[in-house]
Every structure is written in C-alpha cells, then in structure tokens.
Structure 1
C-alpha cells in the first residue's frame, strides 16, 4: 500500500490498486503499478499538484521529472505515463491530454492504438546480443547442481522466462507425454514440447536433489534455513551472479539464455524457409498430444526454438551427451516427474 510521510495510507491510490485486484492482475503487475504510482505522487508532492488538477502540460513536466539522472528507461516512462492517465481518469472521469501537442512533435506522439491519445516518448529498439557456443558451454560446466542445470536448460532449450521457470509445478511436467505446461505473462498458459535432455535433467534433479516437501513448486531451496521452500526470484538472481563470476561469462543472464535459440537460426544458414523447418522438426519430435497443441506451440515460436536444439547444434549435443552420460550412472525405480 502507498502511505504518506506520516504513515497514513493514500486513499485514492488504495482504491485504484483495489480495482487492479478486481481485474485479476498478477501480484507482480500490481507491485509494478504501485511503484509507478509512488513515483507519480513524489513528483506531485514536489510540484505541489493534485490529481484533480492534472493537465496535458503536467504530463510533459512529469516526463522531465522522470528523465532526471538517474533517468528511467523510455519503456518505464511510457508505462508510468499510461498509468498516470488511467489514474487521473479513474478519479475525475477524464484523462489528461496535451492540447498543443504539436510543439512537442520532435519527441512525443500519440499512441495510435489508444482512443484517448496516450502520450508516449520514443523507445529505442533493443538488440539482445547472443552468447557464443563456447561461452554457453563454459557457463553450463560451472553449474554443480542438477537443479541449476535444469533451470538453465529450460531457459535455453524451451525459451522460458525466469518467472515462468520458477512458477512451474510438479503437475505441469508430463514426462510421459513429453510436454510442459507453462504459466506465462498475463496468466496465459501454453503447452510446449519437452526436450529429451531437459526431461532427463529434471528427472535426475527430482530423484537425487529435490528435498521432500509439501510445496508443489518444481524448483526448491536445497540448503539453509529455507530448505524445502520454493526458490525465489532473488535466489535465482544470486545463482546467476555467482556462476557469472565463477565462469567469467559476465554477459550470461536468464534473458540471453531465453533468446539464445533465435540466434542459432540465421537466414543465411537455412536452405528453405523457417516455417517449413519449424513444421518438419515439430512433426519429427511431436506426440499425439503435441500435435493437438500444434497451433498454440507454433504461435509461441517454439517451432524455431525446437529446430535450434535438434539440428545438431554443438552446444545442445554436448549438453545432451553430458546429461545422458550422468544419467547412466544412476539407477532408480520411481520418478517424481513421471
């Protein structure tokens, strides 16, 4: 909740956040919007403004405030602008707009998809620089637990986000059907084919490392006072920070692993179109259940990612052999993820 300097809750902000709860937004989204409102209220306190007094010129002044060092990113500024307009509209019934907006045309424009003309600044196109095969192998070889290996493989081979990896539950993994149910952004679910090396690594982790716990989360804290509790996002970041230092690969982060397969498929390396390759590879690695989910999987670009790690890639071949060789040294009769 938002509170004033004397500890009193801000009623207007609390009412607005309550509407976000009623809309069914996720806790992470509500937390982000709460911090955006906090930034807006700090600016209003400095500028001696109230939400009921907002005009289009105040939006421009708010942009100037957000661009002070350390400046917020353009995407953050646009998100806070949209939220501030919705907040003012929630209180007054009318969203503020810039009447003489043409004088700011060099940097500002109205969003074409918004009926009320949402004010925005230009966002630069960000390019994700891929890891090289040698860097990928070096970082992976620094991992010492099957839990960490499984998380990295899920990001790299399946293209999962860090939050999607942590949100996985035991019931989301269908090792027999070789499929994976993913809880994505906006509480959207999708079904992905499960690669053989990923399934093997998950199975070894579940049998040899995962503590006995009542939690349904797949990835659990392995040691310490929180042993048996679900792994948090802070814990995942600490794991990556530690192994970045250990391996010397400073660029390794979950986002790069998620987008790594896209850089394995360059147009110059293909003899036929991407779509055909994705279809051929999907059929090759599919089951009846995956075929029923073909359209959904294809919409998530899993066809391209699937080709990336089944086409003889040096990295995936090495990891697949490592997982198979390690799995052959163990014997088990019951699988927690089967």
Structure 2
C-alpha cells in the first residue's frame, strides 16, 4: 500500500490517508466506462458516497464501524428504506472496487445488511380511461397536441422508459415494420414493436415538421426545438392524467399499465420481460400480482359465492 509523500505534501493512492473523494471520482468512471451504468445510477452512488466522505474523508476511515455509524445517522434523520438500500449498495460496490484495485485487502461494507424494501403494487389505469388520456392530452397548441399525443401513444404502446423515449432518433423508427430501437439501462439496445395507433401518431408528428427531419435528429422535441427532456415528458403525462381524472399519472404509470394490460390479454411473461427491457424475470413478475389483484376484484364483484 502507498505511503504519505512528505516532500510533495500529498498522499499516495493506497495509503490510509488517501482522500476518499478522489477515489469516488475514479469509481464513478469505473461505473460509467467498465460497467456501463446509467448516468442516474452514477450520480446517485457518487452522491451517497460523497455524503460518507464528508464525515470520514480518508481511506483509512472507510471501515465497518464508521459505515454503520453513518447509516445509523441516516436512519435517525428519516431516510427511506429505498434510500438506505441504495446507499448500502453504493458502499458495497465501492468497497469491492477498492479491493479489486488493491487499495484495501478486505471490503468492510460486505458485512452491511440491506433493509428489506417492500415493493408496492403499481397503480394501473383502466383501459377505457387510458384511451381518453391518450386521445385528448392537455396541450395548448395544435403543434404540441400532435407531439404530446404521439408521446402518450408510444409510451403506452411499448411500455418503454421515459429516458428511452427521450433518446429516440428518427433513424430508430421503422414505420414499415412498426418498431422502434431504444437504448435502455447500461446502454443496452432492444427493438420494441408498436401498433397502428402509435404508428399513425408518429407519422403525423413527423409530417407536421416544417422540414424533413434527418436520421440523427430527435423524434420528440421540446419547446426550444432541441431534444425533449424527461421532466417535460413527465409534465405532459401528468397534465393529461389530471385532465381525465387520473391523479399523479407519470410515464412509469403508463409502463405499468401497458405491462399489466398485456398480461391480462394473455401475453407470455417472458415476452413482457423482453418488451420492458428487464434483465431479470423476477422484476417482471410484479405485474402478475397486479393482474391477479384485478382478477380477484372482478371475482368478488361477479361470482355469487364470492
């Protein structure tokens, strides 16, 4: 391991006195370039680790007792279980990287126990109500109406994530086969089909532009003409939901509803997994619980012996 360089007045990486903040920046690059993690994950993990480094700034302080004390402070401050689970995951990943790089011999975070995080059932919008939301967005102009309807159609037709929708270029659309290529978590690409209503909405959107859009131009543009951002898409979806009595509707609600409605219609679970871009079938299985919940409710209302 390194030692303190007295002449230069600085710390050699690997020394117990090495600055944790500098190592966190290197770890963030590892997440980005080697593991291909999303920018949102990198920001979250870096922010969590920087919070620890503010209290325990040197590498020698990255040890189990300090980690437990820091996490205990977070719990007392009212941090949610999901937040605690993420911070423990960040510490474990960082510790494993420190060992792999030779900065530590043992990962002290490996002994941390993550809290069990309950996964609430997603809110599902009824199919009839979903049709109203998509057909009549709360747009203020004809131009934004065409764009907003295409956004709502595609989100519901495909179940893609809001970040995936914002990243779609014209070249990613195949309006002959009714498919779209999206880039999901870890920059993984997949091709997702959509139906005729979404195809018509996309064709209308592209035809409404004053000039033909180039292949690398974004399909969905914001108010200033550049690529639309997730925040604006969330606002479009929320306002459309409010207009039709669906409170707190967001892009993820459209994704949940699309997955549940596909399963209700008889789609295979693995097909839904592929469409949604889930790396694990276990993630997709939550939608089977939603379908069963709907089936149980229908049974209670319809069966004479329920």
TM above 0.5, yes or no, is yes
Contact kept in structure 1, 2:138 and 2:239, CA below 8 Å: no
Q: What is the alpha-carbon distance in structure 2 between the residues aligned to residue 194 and residue 165 of structure 1? A: 13
Root mean square deviation, CA, Å: 3.1
Query: Per the alignment, do residues 15 and 265 of structure 1 end up closer, same or farther by CA in structure 2, a change over 3 Å counting?
Result: closer
Q: What is the alpha-carbon distance in structure 2 between the residues aligned to residue 52 and residue 88 of structure 1? A: 12
> What secondary structure is seen at the aligned counterpart in 2 of 1:190?
strand
Contact kept in structure 2, 1:210 and 1:220, CA below 8 Å: no
Q: CA deviation at 1:196?
A: 1.0
1:257 aligned partner:
254
Q: CA deviation at 1:254?
A: 0.9
* Aligned counterpart for 2:119 among listed residues 117, 125, 133: 125
Q: CA deviation at 1:298?
A: 6.3
1:243 aligned partner:
240
Q: Deviations over 1:198-223 (max 9, x none)?
A: 111000011114776666111012x4
Query: Per the alignment, do residues 120 and 15 of structure 1 end up closer, same or farther by CA in structure 2, a change over 3 Å counting?
Result: same
Q: CA deviation at 1:18?
A: 2.8
The alignment's TM-score, normalised by the length of structure 2, stands at 0.69
1:142 aligned partner:
137
Runs of 5+ unmatched residues, structure 2: 1-18, 140-144, 277-283, 285-306
Query: Per the alignment, do residues 146 and 118 of structure 1 end up closer, same or farther by CA in structure 2, a change over 3 Å counting?
Result: farther
Q: What is the alpha-carbon distance in structure 1 between the residues aligned to residue 229 and residue 184 of structure 2? A: 17
2:42 aligned partner:
30
> What secondary structure is seen at the aligned counterpart in 2 of 1:191?
strand
Runs of 4+ in 1 over 4 A off after TM superposition: 209-215
The alignment's TM-score, normalised by the length of structure 1, stands at 0.63
Q: What is the alpha-carbon distance in structure 1 between the residues aligned to residue 114 and residue 93 of structure 2? A: 14
2:274 aligned partner:
300
1:40 aligns with 2:52: yes
Q: Deviations over 1:143-197 (max 9, x none)?
A: 4412111111122111111111111111111111222212111111111223111
Contact kept in structure 1, 2:20 and 2:53, CA below 8 Å: no
1:216 aligns with 2:190: no
Contact kept in structure 1, 2:157 and 2:195, CA below 8 Å: yes
Q: What is the alpha-carbon distance in structure 2 between the residues aligned to residue 212 and residue 220 of structure 1? A: 14
Q: What is the alpha-carbon distance in structure 2 between the residues aligned to residue 51 and residue 123 of structure 1? A: 30
> What secondary structure is seen at the aligned counterpart in 1 of 2:240?
helix
2:23 aligned partner:
12
1:326 aligned partner:
none
> What secondary structure is seen at the aligned counterpart in 2 of 1:181?
strand
Deviates more, 1:180-189 or 1:61-70: 61-70
> What secondary structure is seen at the aligned counterpart in 1 of 2:124?
coil
> What secondary structure is seen at the aligned counterpart in 2 of 1:92?
coil
Q: What is the alpha-carbon distance in structure 2 between the residues aligned to residue 299 and residue 71 of structure 1? A: 31
Q: CA deviation at 1:22?
A: 3.1
